[in-house]
Amino acid sequence: MSHNTFGHLFRVTTWGESHGPAIGCVVDGCPPLIPLTEADIQGFMEKRKPGQSKYTTQRREPDEVKILSGVMIDEDGVQKTTGTPISLMVENTDQRSKDYSEIKDRYRPGHADYTYDAKYGIRDYRGGGRSSARETAMRVAAGAVARKVLPQVTIRAALVQVGPHKINRDNWDWSEVDNNPFFCPDREAAAFWADYLDGIRKAGSSVGAVIEVIAEGVPVGLGAPIYGKLDTELTAGLMSINAVKGVEIGNGFDAAALTGEDNADEMRIGEDGKPLFLSNNSGGILGGISNGDPIVARFAVKPTSSILTERKSVTRQGQEVDVMTKGRHDPCVGIRAVPVGEAMVACVLADHLLRHRGQVG
């Protein structure tokens, strides 16, 4: 990972600010001959798109993705990747930059306003500029391409905690995820969250969340130890998402409290004659290499920093002020992080599939 690019063989470079004319990405190193149309990508864009419910920002963008390069219609009329860089772009249409003029010289607490200004010496006050979560739209677009590289892998994510309220894991039902505006796999929790988040929203407040991503069907052997371990790069991918403060794999922080006997996933020979793990505390990764079990990663998103309550802050000029952010924002940015988490996992897995194939054949 470096600046605005991540991945080694399947490489993604993103660009664009929330209030510029467009945002985009370049997906480089994608294998050729993979059928790919804008529709393949658009479906994932819709999941992340703002303005879907009252629980996410009311900014409305069509988020129509365009493929500008790297594909070609073949003799059978099927549009396929050519192995050359795939350029994707989304135009920004609902920018309302006037909303932000008031905070032009004020650093919003919890935001990257102060650090960007301190680092670069210039302040893009228009909706956070490059630090805006709008950038994650292009991760989702790249992730849609990555999924095409991994047809045998199923990558799904769900919201498992909102504020202090966790789901009941006994209720986990993937089919529920599309039935509520929270990507929640627990119908009861979703109902509870609806009321809870309504209150948060009306109070002009916000809360954090925890997202769990599960990848099934990942072949054994992906990962490039020691510094390109699969868990390392999945963690980095998730940690790079806006507002993420923690990442764990498998049983994660809970592993600290266990004994070796309880934590080790025992093995038997399965009916297919292959090694079988009797539990999955490891989250599908041992020594940085996938073991064939579902890969399980969780990440924590902090509460949206833009809230309607005044907080103490300072200006660029060194004056003490109180800041309240009036723009359109999410009471829980964690919700829209669900498809973004899936996308990052897809990109990392696609990269490691190619890297593994490169070294080991």
| Least distance from a second copy to the Cβ atom of residue 66, Å | 8
Work out whether 305 is an interface residue with a second copy (CB under 8 A). Answer: yes
Which residues contact residue 224 at a Cβ distance below 8 angstroms, ignoring those fewer than 6 apart? 230, 288, 352, 355, 356, 359
Q: Scanning residues 137 to 176, which ones bind a second copy (CB under 8 A)?
A: 161, 163-164
| Least distance from a second copy to the Cβ atom of residue 38, Å | 12
> Using CB under 8 A as the criterion, what x/- string covers residues 10-49 for binding a second copy?
-x-xxxxx--xxxxx-x-xxxxxx----------------
Q: Which stretch binds a second copy (CB under 8 A): 54-62, 117-125, 170-178, 179-187?
A: 117-125
Binding site membership for FMN: which residues? 130-132, 242-243, 287, 302-306, 328
Can you tell me which of 283, 339, 340, 348 binds a second copy, judged by CB under 8 A? 283
Are 143 and 344 in contact, with CB atoms under 8 Å apart? yes
| Least distance from a second copy to the Cβ atom of residue 331, Å | 9
Orientation of helix 333-360 relative to helix 230-239, angle to 10°: 150
| Least distance from a second copy to the Cβ atom of residue 337, Å | 11
Core vs surface per residue 166-195: b (16+ CB within 10 A) or e: ebeeeebeeebbeebbbbbbbbebbeebbe
Work out whether 93 is an interface residue with a second copy (CB under 8 A). Answer: no
Give the torsion through C-alpha atoms of 135, 140, 142, 146, to 10 deg: 150
User: Which CB sits closer to a second copy, 122 or 175?
Assistant: 122
Half-sphere exposure of 319 (CA within 13 A, CB side): 6
Can you tell me which of 56, 57, 180, 306 binds a second copy, judged by CB under 8 A? 306
User: Which CB sits closer to a second copy, 95 or 235?
Assistant: 235
Residue whose C-alpha is closest to residue 331's, from 177, 181, 131, 116: 181
The tokens describing 211, both together, are 């997202």
Work out whether 58 is an interface residue with a second copy (CB under 8 A). Answer: no
Residue whose C-alpha is closest to residue 71's, from 30, 36, 44, 28: 36
Q: Scanning residues 314 to 333, which ones bind a second copy (CB under 8 A)?
A: 314, 318-320
Give the C-alpha separation, 184 to 167, whole Å. 8
Give the C-alpha separation, 83 to 71, whole Å. 8
Question: Residue 184: helix, strand or coil by DSSP?
Answer: coil
Can you tell me which of 83, 181, 294, 327 binds a second copy, judged by CB under 8 A? 83
Can you tell me which of 99, 239, 294, 328 binds a second copy, judged by CB under 8 A? 239
Work out whether 233 is an interface residue with a second copy (CB under 8 A). Answer: yes
- DSSP code string of 35-97: B--HHHHHHHHHHH-TTSSTTS--------EEE-SSEEE-TTS-EEE-SS-EEEEEE-----G
Burial label, 107 (beta-carbon count in 10 A; 0-12, 13-18, 19+) = buried
Are 6 and 135 in contact, with CB atoms under 8 Å apart? no
User: Which CB sits closer to a second copy, 175 or 260?
Assistant: 260
User: Which CB sits closer to a second copy, 283 or 339?
Assistant: 283
| Least distance from a second copy to the Cβ atom of residue 101, Å | 13
Q: Which stretch binds a second copy (CB under 8 A): 41-49, 130-138, 174-182, 186-194?
A: 130-138
User: Which CB sits closer to a second copy, 175 or 346?
Assistant: 346
Q: Which stretch binds a second copy (CB under 8 A): 54-62, 95-103, 150-158, 231-239?
A: 231-239
Binding site membership: which residues? 48, 54, 130-132, 242-243, 287, 302-306, 328
Work out whether 191 is an interface residue with a second copy (CB under 8 A). Answer: no
